[in-house]
A and B are shown apart, each in its own frame.
Chain A
């Protein structure tokens, strides 16, 4: 051990004592609502500045650029007809958050987070409780949710971060959705199948101008129509409660 290392070890030992945590009193585990490391509730608006011409308008038939379709996926996509534009298949869980939409997110009890969209008038239930109820396949499927907490800083709470600033809590929501009916990744019939598994990560951050943002990374795994995972991310800006909300049902030309 070098002469310089010895004091450092002593410091670490003292730090370990100083940061010892009190023992948690026994009791029921916190509910999902109580355990939430970030608050996703409120109204959010999609800021569509990526894939604009595939999201804000219905792209032409056969335009599946950048979606990793296999031959069967292309065959199905090529069967789409413009008369189907606006159908509810475009509003399934795998692609709902790609729509130009507003979201309203709220708790329903302590173990269910509800996402409503005005585009297509859809509702997704993100279930934290176990087990998931048995249900028929549906456009929004069954979504199992869990909070993911960041690793606890070894320096302990209250210590400065390596960059000199405070270390904030962070954390994100992970959601896995199955039990889906077939739907579309794009409004022009680019398909996903009932075998699809959709994994999503919901994170929240504050921009330097003070605006609040929700970012959702979506991974669609569908061995029937895709050659690899389809990975996109969508960002939403927080809006005041009771702001603009324009429900438009799917199933009609939208």
Chain B
């Protein structure tokens, strides 16, 4: 009987995250609304390989049909624009929580966070933009583990994440404010976990509209052409540093650029 209780009973009275949440853009507004500058890697713990990939990135790639309707991967989506809606599915008979859904309006980023204790699939299973997510409660904080991600990005200026990246995210609610924490690990493009926080404000009368996307030919190009820069040939990498009077050593990023002692070197 006790074994049955231990496995069958739900843990109730957790924080209610259900509702519509508007992103708060009081932080990183340049990156998150208009989009980051080319060559801005400030404070990010990137590897040399990530920097090399980013320096080859050409924003024109977003204009080719195969890239026009891409959603953000879940490793970035919570930093983007668009209302967030959260709801849950419960088993009709037992009322156990089975799934928490998060849906972000832009490009219809829909995550399913399984709360029923199911395991993650084997490594060879399909990788998707939102990945495979399972959740647990840590007190009143929802903690989510995501694997099986497609190769994506950590910033919208070409900074990549590999398909080996995983994410742990946490949902902390404080009244009508929610702080979402992302902890992204990637053995290919990060030297240490990338921790980011995003604020959301509860929207009692929120709405969600569809976001249909149909790719079109925006620019006629030779078949198979992929916009890019070869190493050393991107002419825009220095613009960000020049515009804001920052040393290139800072804008090229790396874990050390996030530490207080790095600020001391800038005086």
Contact = CB atoms under 8 A, between A and B. Distances in A.
Contacts of B4: 11
A24 interface: no
Contact of A207 (B5, B96, B183): B183
Interface stretch (B66-74, B196-204, B223-231): B196-204
Contacts of B60: none
B28 interface: yes
Contacts of A47: 43, 195, 258-259
A21 interface: no
B168 to A, nearest CB: 6
Contacts of A237: 195
Nearest to A67: B26
Contacts of B183: 207-208
B10 interface: yes
B260 A231 contact: no
Interface stretch (B50-58, B102-110, B134-142, B210-218): B134-142
Nearest to A118: B260
Interface string B1-40: 1101111111111110000000011111110000000000
B26 A207 contact: no
Given A165-B136, A207-B183, A102 B27 contact: no
B89 interface: no
A184 interface: no
A244 B90 CA distance: 50
B201 to A, nearest CB: 7
Interface centre among B6, B8, B9, B94 (most CB of A within 10 A): B9
Interface residues of B, number: 72
B181 interface: yes
Given A101-B260, A151-B13, A171-B139, A209 B266 contact: no
Nearest to B197: A233
Contact of A209 (B30, B114, B137, B185): B185
A35 interface: no
A49 B196 contact: yes
A68 interface: yes
Interface string A203-218: 1010111010101010
Nearest to A5: B93
Interface in B132-187: 134-141, 166, 168, 170, 172, 174, 177, 179, 181, 183, 185
Given A66-B27, A161-B137, A205-B170, A153 B11 contact: yes
Contact-size category for A: 35 or more
Contact of B138 (A15, A149, A170, A231): A170
B262 interface: yes
A149 B140 CA distance: 8
A62 interface: no
Contacts of B136: 161-165, 167
Interface in A156-182: 158-165, 167-172, 174
B44 interface: yes
A56 B262 contact: yes
A42 to B, nearest CB: 16
Q: Which 3 A-B pairs have the closest CB atoms?
A: A170-B139, A164-B117, A49-B43
Interface of B: 1-2, 4-15, 24-30, 42-45, 93-94, 96-97, 114-117, 134-141, 166, 168, 170, 172, 174, 177, 179, 181, 183, 185, 192-197, 199, 201, 244, 246, 250, 257-264, 266-267
